[in-house]
Amino acid sequence: MYLLVFTTLMIGVMGIYAQILGLQTSRFAAHQNSVGVAMMQWHTAALSMAASIINTAGPLYTPLQTNGCRLTFAPIPGTTIVPCPSPVYMAGQTPLALVGTAINPGGGTITDNATTPNLINYKTAAGTYTTQCVHLPARCTRTDINGCGAITGAFTSNGCKQLYDTFDYQFYSVLYKDTLTGGNFVVTFVPAAQISGANPPPGFLQLASGNNIGITATDLLRQLAHAGAAAESFGSIDSAKHLATSGFQYTLPSDFSPTILQNANGAVGIIGTPDGL
């Protein structure tokens, strides 16, 4: 009899403990913001790159502006959006190449491959070329005049330890011009979750790096809010290629593919303008 009572009490206590633990875990998850912070940092770097492109390589950007050009090295699934042109130091001068060179293989993209921040090519007044790191947060242990660490024709990571995890946290960013307002915009986004047997609804998201992250679109929107993103700057993207934020709706480039946006849970995007930077 005593054993039965004891067992019943223990089962009850364990049930209460499980509920408390589940509630604490839920509250902890609800207040996370790490992915949101990373997305905002990436978006800031994208705006910086976009401003340099517009200010110095306008003639090469102009034919791309309606459909947009990507500031992300990884191709965007289901689209033909090309990399942005490399910015140059002197307005009106010709960049080394539209897509990139051996020194700058990413062209006007935030990374020049899957892991390292890009080096922007600039043409100086003397006609020579120099480089500058894209402005992702980093802690350099050895610096040169560019703030990048040791450079031997290309970026070498041994001189600069990245605080931003470029390997894991890459996002899709597109620079384009709105045909109605005439303003330039950068949209940084995470595609809608790809639902499958292994990823049931509402589905976890996948970044441009190819990494599956254990959060949903709703979780990411919550993280962006916790990270301090302005409510007017982020929201959900629908299959009609509209980004709806708090009180605003933006039309995205025509080449945005419904295959990366269609999902009941939607894609998530941050938008901003490089104009005036």
Q: pLDDT tens for residues 174-222?
A: 999 998 889 999 999 999 998 888 888 889 999 998 888 899 999 999 9
DSSP 232: G
Determine the pLDDT at residue 60. 85
| Cβ-contact 40, 270 below 8 angstroms | yes
Determine the pLDDT at residue 104. 60
Determine the pLDDT at residue 8. 60
Smallest CA-to-CA distance from 137 within 37, 240, 238 is with: 37
Q: What does pTM read for this prediction?
A: 0.78
CA-to-CA dists, residue 1 to 4, 8, 11, angstroms = 5, 11, 15
| Token reading at 96 | 């080394």
Provide the sign of the torsion angle of the four alpha carbons 254, 255, 261, 266, taken in this order.
Answer: negative
Phi, psi at 177, each rounded to 5°: -115, 130
Determine the pLDDT at residue 263. 62
DSSP per-residue string spanning 112-136: SSSSSB-EEEEE-TTS-EEEEE---
Determine the pLDDT at residue 152. 42
Determine the pLDDT at residue 118. 72
Phi, psi at 244, each rounded to 5°: -100, 115
Determine the pLDDT at residue 25. 37
- pLDDT under 50: residue ranges of the chain: 6, 15-31, 91-92, 96-98, 141-142, 146, 150-160
DSSP 83: B
Angle at alpha carbon of residue 235, lines to 274 and 206, rounded to 5°: 95
DSSP 169: -
pLDDT digits (tens, 9 = 90+) for 103-136: 566 678 888 766 677 766 655 555 555 566 677 7
